[in-house]
Amino acid sequence: MGNVLTIAGRELKAYFLSPLAWIIIALFAFFTGFIFVQIIARTLVADLSPLFQWIAVLALILTPALTMRLFSEEYKLGTIELLLTAPARDWQIVLGKFIAAWLGFAVLLIPTLWQVVILQRYGSPDYGILGASYLGILLVGAAFVGVGMFASALTQNQFIAYTIGMILLLFLWVSDAPATAAGQSGMVGDFFRYLALPGHFEDFFGGVIDTQHLLYFGSLAVLAVVLTTLVVQSRRWR
Amino acid sequence: MSAEPNGETKQLDGDDAIEVVNLSKFYGERQVLRDLNFSVKRGEILGFLGPNGAGKTTTMRILTGYMPPSSGTARVAGFDVIKQSLEVRARIGYLPETVPLYLDMTVADYLSFVARLHHVKNIDAAIDRAMELVNIADRADTLLGKLSKGYKQRVGIAQAIVHEPDVLILDEPTIGLDPRQIIEVRDLIRALGKEHTILLSTHILPEVSQTCTRVLIIRDGEIVAEDTPQHLGAQFSGSEHVYLQVANVAPEIPKELEKIQGVLTVRAQETEGVFEIETTLNHDRRTDIAAMAVQRGWGVLELRPVRLSLEDVFLQLTMQEQEIENVQDMNEAMQNG
């Protein structure tokens, strides 16, 4: 565990030292604030669930930017050689980076707490739903960060890492579309319908915590860590 | 991860800090290491010399656990690099060819990160010691990205020694440095050699003769020579050469000299009165030559052994004949031009 924390610690420090992180945080805060005002002005209801839908969309666009440097930069700088020859296992390096990026994602959400304060001031929000929504968006974040990290492990070019991450996430988001449009049933159709992200996070934003969805996001995150470890390991065999 | 319990194999067989047996490596179809065998004794500074692409970096990457060999074994500090990779990595300090620096970290932060990765107990003391050794204590709070090439290289060495490893592996430690920095780094390596076993690679010849106790010349993934820098010269010429300069030139000098037992050939050089005398290996004929010169009144101005320079040996070993001729032609052209 020591190695994981060492890696995560350095990663977090590097993250907050880079201007990119602050740009992402600022963009995220601006857009969530903007959408919040639009929604509240129109509905006048102390309900953040429409906002969380939009947070998920923002996360889709911004998380790959958060994760693109995780491995790409190590490859580019040659520092990967330092990590892979240190007495740490490959999965510890990957897990450390994952945790750091996930914490980074959580930081993005901090400005949205201000909106909860506003709702509390002028209305009576349902804290059960809010809690479930934050849990949901954190789980979405875990999956997104995992996928983004995996993309980063594939290339030393951060822009390509961003693009691959984005494409993978988009695919997950809309994977049910062809099956639904074609009215396809059966194993394949069901599988792609199951894979689609929105069906799994929407329940959280409605205040429902379903183990099936917990399992979905948990599996995605674990799978991403495992696949990333394999990709990193494969460098040893090339 | 290892079938053998840790510690069981910790005791060293003999004094070998590094032991390489039948090491081979393929990149796809291409074989870059062919049955490599060598060992490095404790406290030795072994120079790994070879042209670019000879397999130096690959060998080092296998020894540091970065990649596994295709076949063969290697042990570092008594541990198997494949089965006990983590044990090996804990005992190695490694400076890769590209110094692995996070440019947005300060020197002290970076060294403390590396020390943590190596589970160093007293981190502050360790990084202070490392910075002192490579003489960068005054830059502790400088960002790595702002350092000059020479300082970056020193930080690279500092990160390799911060956990006081048994074995230091340095891949081209002086590449890209200016002459003054090269001298500093070489002095540093020599100093470190007092406490560590060092394997360093280079394609620069003077580096080896100046810093290493033993040289290993590698070409196309094979070891083609192994000895002290001094011995290599004699060993690979197959004979010894003596330089003689006399004041009173006489036409019979070559003939007379060839009468001495053990003298193979005598060649008059372009400069008048200078001869190069080839003698059989391991027979120093200088006393006989001097005695004869005095007896015949030639007036000896200079008499000294000529060794093939390491450069000559290197060229002979690592190049095809045609290439050697090309280089010789080039040298001559440069001298004449």
pLDDT, one tens digit per residue, over A149-174 is: 999 999 999 999 999 999 999 999 98
Residue B225: what are its φ and ψ, rounded to 5°? -165, 150
Residue A26: what are its φ and ψ, rounded to 5°? -65, -45
Q: Which residues of A touch B101 (CB under 8 A)?
A: 77, 79
Q: Which residues of A touch B6 (CB under 8 A)?
A: none
Q: Which pTM value belongs to this model?
A: 0.81
Q: Are B102 and A79 in contact (CB under 8 A)?
A: yes
Work out the percent of chain B whose per-residue pLDDT is above 70.
82
pLDDT at B333: 66
The domains located in chain B, with CATH, are: 16-227 (3.40.50.300), 234-306 (3.30.70.100)
Q: Which residues of B touch A235 (CB under 8 A)?
A: 67
pLDDT, one tens digit per residue, over B67-101 is: 999 999 999 999 999 999 999 999 999 999 999 99
Chain B residues within 8 Å of chain A (Cβ atoms): 27, 61, 64-68, 86-87, 89-90, 92, 94, 96, 98-105, 109, 113-114, 116-119, 159
pLDDT at A238: 65
From A23's Cα to the closest Cα of chain B, the distance in A is 17
From B182's Cα to the closest Cα of chain A, the distance in A is 22
For residues B301 and B64, what is the distance between their CA atoms, to the nearest angstrom? 54
Q: Which residues of A touch B111 (CB under 8 A)?
A: none
Mean pLDDT computed over B261-269: 83
Q: Are A216 and A78 in contact (CB under 8 A)?
A: no
Mean pLDDT computed over B260-281: 83
Task: Tell if the CB–CB gap between B66 and A87 is shorter than 8 Å.
Answer: no
Mean pLDDT computed over A117-121: 86
From B186's Cα to the closest Cα of chain A, the distance in A is 22
- Residue B296, C-beta contacts closer than 8 angstroms, at least 6 positions apart: B250, B256
Residue A118: what are its φ and ψ, rounded to 5°? -65, -45
CB of A19 less than 8 A from some CB of B: no
pLDDT, one tens digit per residue, over A212-229 is: 999 999 999 999 999 999
Lowest mean pLDDT among A69-78, A119-128, B133-142, B280-289: B280-289
Mean pLDDT computed over A109-128: 86
pLDDT range class, residue B287, cuts 50, 70, 90: confident
